[in-house]
């Protein structure tokens, strides 16, 4: 029987590429989103992938949403915690609200997504947790104290979950994308984009599909011994 994958923020950007790649690999896929109904409906229409709306920052909503997915699509074997936001500001201007919004979505959102599926994975002796972190969690970034804190936190989450899940057949890994050509990055002024590209030895932005292929590998049976690791996909912009 085909395994079931849940991709949070799976209706747009990198998440949409991940959802499509996993569907192409033969998984049953459910994609979640926060509020952009139009983009989600278009995505479902184009791909046939079911979309579900809930806020990953809310534990009860996440738990109820996951129960619905499990009832309608199947027990979740693969979780891709991809949903994320930025609320950038230099630290002296960063508000507590900007701090909390990003922590609640990007970091607590990972807890809220993984915690409800963990018992089922332990029982079935198989699971794949894949968290989409960021190059800026590895190196820090001007005006992203909040975002970098969450993305560095992701790495601590997967290293700890890897140790707890290994004997139950569960792996937990993180992917740290560099700058990827999503709507968000393409929307910045061309001059700024050029200055970003100038810092990437590959001389270009990454494609969402390049991250999706890393996810497809980590989701597969072939990756069983890769556990607690961080895969950097950044065109040689930064090495740990
Ligand atoms: N783009 C890059 O260059 C880059 C680089 C490194 C890491 N990343 C990471 O990769 C991930 C995806 O980034 P992206 O650029 O593809 O983002 P994006 O295009 O802005 O898409 C974000 C997705 O997450 C959903 N989302 C946001 N907040 C949510 C919440 N509270 N609850 C549920 N869903 C929520 C959005 O739903 P709606 O459609 O309803 O808004 C959307 O589906 C993020 O974790 C980001 O930090 C991105």
Can you point out the beta strands (E) in the chain?
4-7, 28-33, 50-53, 76-81, 127-132, 170-177, 230-233
Measured in residues, the chain has a length of 240
Our answer to whether residue 147 is catalytic in this structure is yes
pLDDT at residue 189 in the model:
86
Distance 83 CA to ligand 1 centre (A): 4
* Inside any domain, residue 238: no
Phi, psi of 112 (to 5 degrees): -65, -25
**Relative to the CA of 135, which ligand 1 atom is closest?**
6
51 lines ligand 1 (CB under 6 A): no
Claim: this prediction has a pTM higher than 0.95: yes
**Relative to the CA of 147, which ligand 1 atom is closest?**
47
CB distance 58 to 78 below 8 Å: no
Residue 170 domain boundaries: 4-230
Greatest CA separation for the chain = 53
11 lines ligand 1 (CB under 6 A): yes
Sorted by sequence, the CB contacts under 8 Å of residue 46 that are 6+ apart come out as none
Instruction: For the chain, give the mean pLDDT.
Output: 97
Minimal CA–CA distance to 208: which of 38, 6, 52, 9?
9
20 lines ligand 1 (CB under 6 A): no
Tens of pLDDT, residue by residue over 51-98, are: 999 999 999 999 999 999 999 999 999 999 999 999 999 999 999 999
Total domain count, the chain: 1
* Inside any domain, residue 114: yes
DSSP string, 18-66: HHHHHHHTT-EEEEEESS-HHHHHHHHHHH--EEEE--TT-HHHHHHHH
Q: What is the mean pLDDT of residues 34-50?
A: 98
pLDDT at 184 over 80: no
Distance 167 CA to ligand 1 centre (A): 31
* Inside any domain, residue 71: yes
> Ligand 1 atom 13: the closest Cα is on which residue?
14
* Inside any domain, residue 237: no
* Inside any domain, residue 22: yes
The CA distances from residue 207 to 25, 37, 41, 86, 232, in Å, are: 19, 24, 23, 19, 14
183 lines ligand 1 (CB under 6 A): yes
221 DSSP assignment: G
* Inside any domain, residue 40: yes
CB distance 181 to 17 below 8 Å: no
Minimal CA–CA distance to 73: which of 170, 11, 6, 130?
6
pLDDT at 119 over 80: yes
177 lines ligand 1 (CB under 6 A): yes
The CATH number linked to 196 is 3.40.50.720
For a substitution probing ligand 1, which of 6, 11, 13, 103 has the most ligand atoms within 8 Å of its CB?
A: 13
């Amino acid at each position: 029987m085909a395994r079931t994958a849940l991709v949070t923020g799976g209706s747009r950007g990198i998440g949409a590429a991940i959802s499509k790649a996993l569907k192409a690999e033969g998984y049953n896929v459910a994609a979640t989103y926060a509020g952009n109904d139009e983009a989600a409906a278009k995505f479902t229409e184009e791909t046939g992938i079911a979309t579900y709306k809930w806020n990953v920052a809310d534990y009860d909503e996440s738990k109820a949403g996951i129960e619905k997915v499990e009832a309608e699509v199947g027990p979740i074997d693969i979780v891709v915690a991809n949903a994320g936001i930025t609320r950038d500001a230099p630290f002296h201007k960063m508000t507590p609200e900007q701090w909390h919004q990003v922590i609640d979505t990007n970091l607590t959102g990972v807890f809220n997504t993984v915690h409800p599926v963990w018992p089922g994975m332990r029982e079935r002796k198989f699971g794949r947790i894949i968290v989409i972190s960021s190059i800026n969690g590895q190196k820090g970034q001007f005006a992203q104290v909040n975002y970098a804190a969450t993305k560095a936190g992701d790495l601590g989450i997967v290293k700890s979950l890897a140790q707890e899940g290994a004997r139950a057949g569960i792996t937990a890994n993180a992917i740290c994308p560099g700058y990827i050509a999503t709507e968000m990055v393409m929307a910045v002024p061309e001059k700024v984009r050029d200055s970003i590209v100038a810092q990437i030895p590959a001389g270009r932005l990454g494609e969402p599909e390049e991250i999706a292929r890393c996810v497809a590998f980590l989701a597969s049976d072939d990756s069983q011994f890769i556990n607690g690791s961080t895969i950097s996909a950044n065109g040689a912009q930064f090495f740990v």
